[in-house]
Structure 1
Amino acid sequence: MGFKLSENACKFLVRTARKAIGSKFDENKLITNKQDIPEELDFNSGCFVTLHKNGKLRGCIGNFREDKNIVENVAEMAVQSPFNDMRFPPLTKDELSHVEIEISVLSPMVPVNSFDEIKIGRDGLYISKGIFSGVLLPQVASEYGWNVEEFLKNTCRKAGLPADAYKAADTKVYRFEAFVFSEQDLKE
């Protein structure tokens, strides 16, 4: 991705995400003083917040909103991921200390004109056709060892479309990059 964040900014976002999730259990409002936010986080961006428990996916929700500050967006997606990912039951208070938080800060989406533009490990995919849409983050293709065609097919499946739907003229395919970091990356 064209930008990186400092370790301090990454730690701030991870702490913000963990506090946001914890606030759902403690019924406390998440309050962040504007002066505490690192200056480099004064930008708008989409993001995904992914939770892992014992190395396995436990929740992942995000958006591509470019009209919301990254700190606010991370806090909002951090609350959505453990409680609104329909693939998993809601996170329990006991589980909170056992989950690892991963954050993906997203670049704007770019339409794909040729599938040769897609680079595994760099690009995530967003595919839409009619009312169906699906997204897979850049790290997913790398984790599963997929080539570009497998990545396209699996993104179609995630969207609830036939695996070859990406070939249809009325299917829209976009790529994006992500700056990804996790609590594990930031441990000293």
Structure 2
Amino acid sequence: MTEQSLGPALLAHARWAIAERLGLAGEPPVTPAALEAPGACFVTLSQAGALRGCIGSLEAHRPLVLDVTENARAAAFRDPRFAPVSAGEWPDIQVEVSLLGPHEALAAGSEAELLAQLRPGVDGLILAAGPRRATFLPQVWEQLPDGRDFLLQLRRKAGLPGDYWGPDLRCWRYQVRKWREA
């Protein structure tokens, strides 16, 4: 499957999954064989340029078609930051799918060392300490271009103090291929 056809297939499945739950869908889209392989993705919803929901998987643990379907529904109806998407607002929602690449562990003894390894706008970051874990997709750099602020907000998202740096802190970077509806 080509890059040009993978994105539209993922977007079609994400949009159909939400529309189906709203009672607005027709027949499901055709599932290309490439979407049957395991994959991990995030589905991001926006409305008038503002975030409206974002849920995803960090690990490939199910077929990509199921991952995009379930994450689309979760972003629309179970993101705790937002009320569920309604049928009335659905036509104004824009869908984006980010397909995660492999994770690369980063070794850093300080925040400065970690920041030196990150490529703003290119790398997503997973941060974990004890049972707490959070990620920011590479697209988050658009809202948080300052590396220190990026890390501060990611630590807060994980439920950690904004300045936390402890021996149990673990970090991984990753890249995504993303597609957004026009």
Measured against the shorter chain, the TM-score band is 0.7 to 0.9
State the match for 2:171 in structure 1.
173
8 Å CA contact 2:39, 2:63 repeated in 1:
yes
Q: Provide closer, same or farther for how the CA distance between residues 29 and 108 of structure 1 changes in structure 2, counting only shifts above 3 A.
A: farther
8 Å CA contact 1:64, 1:108 repeated in 2:
no
State the match for 2:151 in structure 1.
152
In the alignment, structure 1 residue 19 sits paired with structure 2 residue 13: no
Q: Which runs of 5+ in 2 are unaligned?
A: 109-113
Q: How many residues align?
A: 176
In the alignment, structure 1 residue 131 sits paired with structure 2 residue 131: yes
Q: TM-score by structure 2 length? A: 0.87
State the match for 1:85 in structure 2.
79
d(CA) in 2 for partners of 1:80, 1:151: 25
- The Cα of 1:149 is off from its aligned counterpart by 2.4
- The Cα of 1:15 is off from its aligned counterpart by 0.9
d(CA) in 2 for partners of 1:77, 1:53: 17
Q: TM-score by structure 1 length? A: 0.85
Aligned residue runs from structure 1 range 64-103, under 5 A: 64-103=58-97
d(CA) in 2 for partners of 1:145, 1:31: 37
Which of the pair is proportionally richer in helix? 1
SS at match of 2:43: strand
Q: Which runs of 5+ in 1 are unaligned?
A: none
State the match for 1:59 in structure 2.
53
State the match for 1:44 in structure 2.
38
AA aligned opposite 1:183: E
